[in-house]
Structure 1
């Protein structure tokens, strides 16, 4: 088990249904990491910028962030921009997981520093496959930076 496999996976997702489906898909992959949910961009930034300082939040930064784009309040684009401009957080891989397949959204996210962009599938079997690929690549194949 690598260091990254002990770190949480942060899912920033406003839809409880989407988060539940993703959690089920991760469990099918026997993901050993805890999966945390932030329901909006403000909550995600609160955790990431103040990790280890608030009761109930983990003292570790996540192995990677799965970030929805279209959320009420602070949206995913803003969260991505803030993370990639913060010297303490910019090394965390951020994978966009959005219903949008707009080429403009994809280009904007990569320009802002996204490490990957995935479109949320409609079919659960396709979501399982994307979860399998995420776990295999980001926690098995990729060498991730050591973060506190």
Structure 2
């Protein structure tokens, strides 16, 4: 799968790269440090990602602001977007689902738990028919 990973924290980016590197299925990761950079990459890309992994708490443009712009775009609105965040705020969760996300995953503190959650998320989307379409 082609994955757009939108995250401003370098440690979180390293965790994702490490986890994906351990998987038997190889995925291509494109990184963006904030919503503005991600939107530029999406609009200039020859091929769109299969899924987006999005952090909520970022500088310049929050994850929720990015989501609103994404879901208003006729082409980009169908991209499955999974929130990968530390925010356990119920208002954030409900707002993200109202806008139209495909999932909301809390980043666990322990790396082993992170690896297990991410592996499950990527495994699901790897077999999902929307990604294959």
Q: Does 1:22 align with 2:8?
A: no
CA contact (8 A) 1:29 1:135 kept: no
CA contact (8 A) 2:51 2:131 kept: no
Aligned to 1:143: 129
Aligned to 1:84: 71
The DSSP-based 3-state class of the residue aligned with 1:25 is helix
Aligned to 1:60: 47
Aligned to 1:121: 108
User: Within 2, Cα distance between the matches of 1:13 and 1:146?
Assistant: 25
Unaligned runs of 5+ in 1: 52-58
Q: Does 1:103 align with 2:93?
A: no
Name the count of aligned residue pairs: 133
CA contact (8 A) 2:20 2:26 kept: no
Any runs of at least 4 consecutive aligned residues in structure 1 with deviations exceeding 2 A, and if so which? none
Q: Residue 130 of structure 1: CA displacement?
A: 1.1
**What is the RMSD of the two structures over their aligned residues, measured on CA atoms?**
1.3
**TM-score normalized with structure 2 length:** 0.94
